[in-house]
Amino acid sequence: MSKTNHTILTDTFGRKHNYLRISLTERCNLRCTYCMPADGIALSPKEHLMTADEIYIIAKTFVDLGVNKIRLTGGEPMVRKDFPLILEKLASLPVELGITTNGVLADRFIPLLKKNGIKTITISIDSLHKDKFQKITRRNEFEKVWNTIQLFQKEGFKVKLNIVLIKGFNDQEIVDFINLTKDKDLIIRFIEFMPFDGNQWNIDKLVTHQEILDKVSYIFPLQIKRLSDTPNDTSRNYKIEGYQGSFAIISSVTNPFCDTCNRIRLTADGKLKNCLFSGKEFSLLKPLRANQPLNNIIKSALQHKFATRGGMDTPDKLQNPDLHSKNRSMIAIGG
Ligand code: SF4
């Protein structure tokens, strides 16, 4: 990698970006209320979406610039018919490959995931109650997802569960989720509800980092152990003394972790997002199809990155729905 190239992924705040999250599709087989707007989204025409080869070429471009971690997201990445081909192509790159899935189709890909060296799986599940699961996902897939979580553990995968907490909906289940870590080496990740286009976000629905800790320490006084976070970690990690697993809190609303951000995102239609919250995007697919070089566009994208949350650096800005609508809905970013 030439001297100049290794700075391309460094922004004006000196943050090195070695972690690329790729949204493989805008489609999903669930309809989670905090992700997919009630009326759905206008899907991009197929010809505007990256093919498996284009995903590989763009990913390799980033790897050549210093990316060593790639996570596949969606929508739901596994609904793509060519998901196996994409996974095998990306698994040939020198990267740590991860997947975030809703678990509905995941069981059928266990052999493929193992063959391609995937040892950890992140599954989204926002309630342990079938009726509430159906309410938030608008689909009746609780058993399928729950059984798949058990199956992945039985198959020896490290399993992380993502839970988006919404006040008055599932915040009463925080301790139930933590109790899953008593005898199981699970990682429970509580995510603060974030504002995106069309997800009816407001501050009253937010369960803050501190509120989560207050609820946990009320039930487990003096038993909460603070674990060390890895560099660039988005989560603050904890453990209940004597429990097998651990829990984490991802608090980009009340306690953003932008100072150590190393993440950039590629959307299914080949646009580079320098931040989850940024409405500004840089097309890589069009220049790729025109055989134009990508490095300068990537460099420009990183040079335009804000210090915090795509410029929503104050609570007022974060609560401004006009700013939310300048960004995509979560379904088209992939978290
Ligand atoms: S909000 Fe943006 S800058 Fe902050 S951690 Fe997330 S992606 Fe990085």
* Domain range list for the chain: 3-333
- pLDDT tens-digit readout, 81-124: 999 999 999 999 999 999 999 999 999 999 999 999 999 999 99
- pLDDT tens-digit readout, 127-173: 999 999 999 999 999 999 999 999 999 999 999 999 999 999 999 99
Determine the number of helices (DSSP H) and then strands (DSSP E) in the chain: 11, 12
Choices 3.20.20.70, 3.40.50.620, 3.30.565.10, 3.40.50.970: CATH for 3-333: 3.20.20.70
End-to-end CA, the chain: 29
pLDDT at 231: 87
- pLDDT tens-digit readout, 272-296: 999 999 999 999 999 999 999 999 9
CA distance 262 to 326: 23
Which residue's CA is the nearest one to ligand 1's atom 1?
Answer: 309
* Burial class of residue 317 in the structure, from the number of CB atoms within 10 Å of its CB (0-12 exposed, 13-18 middle, 19+ buried): middle
CA distance 32 to 133: 9
Contact criterion met (CB below 8 Å) for 239 and 216 = no
User: Which has more pLDDT, 89 or 327?
Assistant: 89
309 C-alpha vs ligand 1 centroid, how far in Å?
Answer: 5
Ligand 1 atom nearest the C-alpha of 265 is 7
pLDDT at 2: 59
274 CB near ligand 1 (under 6 Å): no
309 CB near ligand 1 (under 6 Å): yes
Which residue's CA is the nearest one to ligand 1's atom 3?
Answer: 258
Q: Mean pLDDT of all residues in the chain?
A: 95
User: Per-residue pLDDT for 242 more than 60?
Assistant: yes
Our mutation pick for probing the ligand 1 site, out of 232, 252, 306, counting the most ligand atoms within 8 A of Cβ, is 252
Which residue's CA is the nearest one to ligand 1's atom 5?
Answer: 258
- pLDDT tens-digit readout, 1-48: 555 577 899 999 999 999 999 999 999 999 999 998 877 888 999 999
Interior angle at CA 297, CA 273 and CA 76, nearest 5: 30
253 CB near ligand 1 (under 6 Å): no
pLDDT at 3: 56
Nearest of 249, 244, 246, 304 to residue 280 by alpha carbon: 304
Report the Cα 16 to chain-centroid distance in Å: 19
Nearest of 123, 217, 124, 139 to residue 170 by alpha carbon: 124
Report the Cα 303 to chain-centroid distance in Å: 23
Percent pLDDT > 90 in the chain is: 87
Which residue's CA is the nearest one to ligand 1's atom 6?
Answer: 276
